[in-house]
Amino acid sequence: MTDDADAVVVGSGPNGLAAAVALAREGASVVVLEGRDEPGGGMRTTELTLPGFRHDVCSACHPMGILSPFFRSLPLGDHGLRWVQPPVSAAHPLDDQPAVLLRRSLADTARALGPDTRAYERLLGPLLGDPHGLLEDMLAPLRIPRHPLRMLRFGLQAVRSATGLARGRFRGERARALFAGCAAHSILPLERSLTAAVGLVFCMTGHVEAWPVAEGGSAAIARALASLLVSLGGRIETGRFVGTLADLPRARVVLFDTSPAQLAAIAEPALPAGYVRRLRRYRYGPGVFKIDWALNGPIPWTDPAVLEASTVHVGGTLDEIAAAEAAVWRGEHPERPFVMLVQQSQFDRTRAPDGKHTGYAYCHVPGGSTVDRTATIERQVERFAPGFRDRILARHVMNTADLERYNPSNVGGAIAGGVADLGQLFTRPVARWNPYTTPSPRIYLCSGATPPGGGVHGMSGYFAARAALRRMGRLPVGEFR
C-alpha cells in the first residue's frame, strides 16, 4: 500500500511529471501513479516496426521542450537528457522549386523568400528582441503579462487568422506556405482567429533554437524528469491504474494529468454535478492518423536540403493546407492532407541500425476516425520524394482508436489536449479564475487541457503545482471521496 503523501499525481506525461517535480522542489512529498508499465505519457519510445528501429510513439520533435521556461530551470542534462539539434528546424517542400527552410538565422530564412524578404523580417524581427520573456507570457494562463509591450505587439497580429495574416503580409507563395505549415500545428481551420498566433510562435521558435529531437527518443525526456523527481524524494509507481477515487492513496491534494473526461469519470463523487457536466462538454477536436516507417535509407526528397530539417511540413501551398485543414473540420478526409513528418534518425544515430533510418508522420483526421490513411500519407510524401515507397522496409500505423487505447487522454485521437480556439483557449477546461483548480480544494487538473495547452513543455503541470501549493498546507492528509 502506498504511504501517505502531500500530493498524488495521476498520470506521468510531461505535465504530470513537471507538476510532481515542481511540488517536490518545494519540499512536498509526492507520488506519481502511472497505469502503464513505464512513465512517460506522450514521451515513450519503442521498436514499433523492426528490431533496432526506435520510434517515438507519440511526440517526436520538441521546439517547446527546449524553450520551456520551466524545463530550462531544471538540470535535466544532469539526468541524461541531450537535445540533438538539426541545421534546419522545418522544411516545407513545394512543387517544381526548392523547399522553404526555417533556419535559425532570421536573415538566412528571409533571404530565400523572394519578394517577401523584408516583410518576413519586419513580422518576426520584433518578436526576437527578448524571445524567452515573450514565451514566458505566451505559455502562461490569462494574467497581466510581465512584458506588456512585447505581448501587445505580438497580440495585434496573433488574433488574426493565419490565412488573413499570410495573404495580407506576403505576396509570394514561399512565405505564405512556410507560415501556413507552422500555423497548421494549431489543428484548426486556418481561417479562424488566433491561428496566426500559432504560426508566429512556431516561426519564432525556429529562430531561437533549432527544433530538437531527444537523443535516444522522446522517452529520454520522461526518464530525465523521473530521475530528477526521484532525486528530490518523489516516487513513481507504475502499473497503478486509477479508475475511481478509491484507487488513490491518502494525501492532501491530487493532480490529474488526464483529459477532462477522465477527471469527470474518476472524481465525479467529489465534484458538483454542474462542474462535471461542463467537463463533459469539453471539445477535443480532430484526431490524427500516425505512421512510423523503418527505412533502408534517407527519404529521397527532390530537394536534398530537406534532409537538414528535423520536421517537414508536407502539404504544398497555403491554399492547399488551408483547404485540407478545413475539410477535416467538416468531417472529411482530404485527398491531399497536411502531413507532419519527423526524420529523427537523420540527426540521432541511436534510432536505427547503421545505414537505415526511421520516419514518423501523421495527418489530421476527424475525431474518432478509423479510416486508413496510409496510402494517402505515403502518396503525399512521394509527391515531394519520388521513390520513397521503395525505401520502406516496414511500417506501423495507429488510428484514432489506437491512440486513445494507448493513452486515454488522447480522446478521439486528439493529441493536443483539446480545441484551442477563442471559445476554449483561456477557459479550458471550464471557465474559472484559476483553470487548474476545481470546486474541490483537494482536486486539480494539470494536463494539456489547461493553459497553455498541448505540447511537451510542462507548463500546465508547473502552474497547476503552484495552484496546489497555495492551498496544500491548510489541508489535512486524508482519503478522497
| Domains observed in the chain | 1-35+239-283+418-481 (3.50.50.60), 45-66+87-99+210-224+285-416 (3.30.519), 105-206 (no CATH)
Take residue 139 and report the three cell numbers written for it. 505559455
User: What torsion do the CA atoms of 395, 396, 400, 403 make, to the nearest 10 degrees?
Assistant: -150
Which of 275, 287, 299 lies closest to 362, judged by CA? 287
CA distances from 347 to 74, 83, 137, 342 (A): 24, 10, 31, 11
Give CA–CA dist 183/177, Å, rounded.
Answer: 10
Cα angle 142-145-148, degrees, rounded to a multiple of 5: 135
Take residue 262 and report the three cell numbers written for it. 477522465
Question: 3-class DSSP state for residue 481?
Answer: coil
Sign of the Cα torsion 193, 64, 9, 405 reads: positive
Strands 97-103, 213-214: parallel, antiparallel or unpaired by DSSP? unpaired
Which amino acid does the sequence have at 235?
R
**How far from chain centre, in Å, is Cα 230?**
25
User: What torsion do the CA atoms of 223, 229, 233, 234 make, to the nearest 10 degrees?
Assistant: -90
Query: DSSP for 163-188?
Result: HHHHHHH--SHHHHHHHHHHHGGG-S
Angle between helices 131-138 and 195-206 (to 10 degrees): 150
Take residue 22 and report the three cell numbers written for it. 515542481
Range from 16-30, 134-148, 366-380 carrying the lowest mean pLDDT? 134-148
Give CA–CA dist 43/419, Å, rounded.
Answer: 21
Which of 100, 44, 89 lies closest to 66, judged by CA? 89
Q: Is the pLDDT of residue 15 over 70?
A: yes
- pLDDT band at 203, cuts 50/70/90? very high
pLDDT tens by residue, 82-129: 999 999 999 999 999 999 999 999 999 999 999 999 999 999 999 999
Mean pLDDT across 172-196: 97
Mean pLDDT across 425-442: 93
Give CA–CA dist 81/79, Å, rounded.
Answer: 6
Q: Is the pLDDT of residue 200 over 70?
A: yes
Mean pLDDT score across all residues of the chain: 96
CA distances from 152 to 179, 186, 190, 194 (A): 20, 21, 22, 14
Cα angle 464-468-473, degrees, rounded to a multiple of 5: 165
Helical spans, DSSP H, in 184-259: 195-206, 219-231
Give CA–CA dist 243/269, Å, rounded.
Answer: 12
Q: Is the pLDDT of residue 136 over 80?
A: yes
Sign of the Cα torsion 40, 293, 54, 203 reads: negative
* For the chain, percent of residues with pLDDT exceeding 70: 100
DSSP structural state of residue 2: P
- pLDDT band at 197, cuts 50/70/90? very high
Q: Is the pLDDT of residue 141 over 90?
A: no
Enumerate residues 6+ apart whose C-beta is below 8 A from 375. none
pLDDT tens by residue, 266-283: 999 999 999 999 999 999
Q: Which residue has the cell 503580409?
A: 169
DSSP structural state of residue 3: P
- pLDDT band at 2, cuts 50/70/90? low
**How far from chain centre, in Å, is Cα 144?**
25
Q: Is the pLDDT of residue 1 over 70?
A: no
- pLDDT band at 153, cuts 50/70/90? confident
pLDDT at 342: 98
Question: 3-class DSSP state for residue 310?
Answer: strand
Q: Is the pLDDT of residue 375 over 80?
A: yes
Mean pLDDT across 164-175: 97
354 class by beta-carbon count within 10 Å (0-12 exposed, 13-18 middle, 19+ buried): exposed
Q: What is the pTM for the complete model shown?
A: 0.96
Mean pLDDT across 146-173: 91
Q: Is the pLDDT of residue 215 over 60?
A: yes
Give CA–CA dist 223/221, Å, rounded.
Answer: 5
Query: Are residues 60 and 342 in contact, defined by beta-carbon separation less than 8 angstroms?
Result: yes
Which of 321, 317, 296, 297 lies closest to 307, judged by CA? 297
Sign of the Cα torsion 444, 450, 451, 453 reads: positive
Strands 88-94, 97-103: parallel, antiparallel or unpaired by DSSP? antiparallel
